[in-house]
Structure 1
Amino acid sequence: MDRGTVGSASRGRLHVEIRHHGASAVVTVSGELDHHTADLLRESLEGCVDDGYARLVVDCSPLEFMDSTGLNVLLGARLKAEAAGGGVHLAGMQPVVARVFEITGAEAVFTVHDSVDAALAG
């Protein structure tokens, strides 16, 4: 059941919006995820897990840029979510963001979906 947007925050060039869909938290990330903005996403993802939403769907479709700091935030969230019995699912990655995962090999440790709907159905 989608309860609408339950949280929204911006920091500089990054905007994070959270909504709940059943047992999942859908975290939409837009803008630029780098060392200046990464704490906002880290706090949002950790807050979801702390609130009992261990299955995180990260909507990357509006994300325009991500560096290694952003990747580290997602890897940390993955560990926390898995420790709570869930996981991190990435959805709708643009080529510029997907490239970070390809270069580092990190795509092997995440479940990647074409869309949020596909991630929620999986």
Structure 2
Amino acid sequence: MDREAVGTADLGRLRVEVRQVGHTAVFTPSGELDHHTADVLAEPLGAAVDAGVTRLVIDCANLAFCDSTGLNVLLGARLRVEAIGGAVHLAAMRPTVARVFEITGAEAVFTLHDTLDQALQD
């Protein structure tokens, strides 16, 4: 697969790397996704959807925390990309992040993968 770094965003507690893998935009947030840092992920997700990307993969392996604001960023991206026929895939969630999705029931509306490689192959 062709893997090319596209960009990064950083706000101290959250860093987001963005790259294109084939026709998929891969976002790798590292740190804490909360009401203070949500825009660091929301902006590149929105830009990808605006550019017509219909397959978004969020590699959650380095995401240490996600609050309701972070969850809303992901849900908003899901709604936008599904409106143009796409999907959001979440990969490699840590137990603390997965718990937020379990408690809220949000795990039912995303395609979840144990690893990034599985998400990219799906």
Q: TM-score, normalised by structure 1?
A: 0.97
The structural deviation recorded for 1:2 is 2.3
Q: Secondary structure at the match of 2:30?
A: strand
Contact 1:33-1:70 at 8 Å conserved across structures: yes
Q: Kindly tell me the number of residue pairs found equivalent between the two proteins.
A: 122
The structural deviation recorded for 1:12 is 2.2
Contact 1:2-1:19 at 8 Å conserved across structures: no
CA offsets, 1:68-122, max 9 Å, x none?
Answer: 0000000000001111211100000000000000000000000000111101111
The structural deviation recorded for 1:40 is 1.2
CA offsets, 1:5-59, max 9 Å, x none?
Answer: 1011101200000110111100001100000000111111011111221200000
Say whether 1:8 aligns with 2:8.
yes
Q: How far apart, CA to CA, are the structure 1 residues paired with 2:52 and 2:24?
A: 9
> Tell me, which stretches of 5 or more residues in structure 2 are unaligned?
none
Percent identity reads 67
RMSD across aligned positions (CA): 0.9
> Tell me, which stretches of 5 or more residues in structure 1 are unaligned?
none
Moved over 6 A (4+): none
Q: Secondary structure at the match of 2:44?
A: helix
Q: How far apart, CA to CA, are the structure 1 residues paired with 2:105 and 2:71?
A: 11
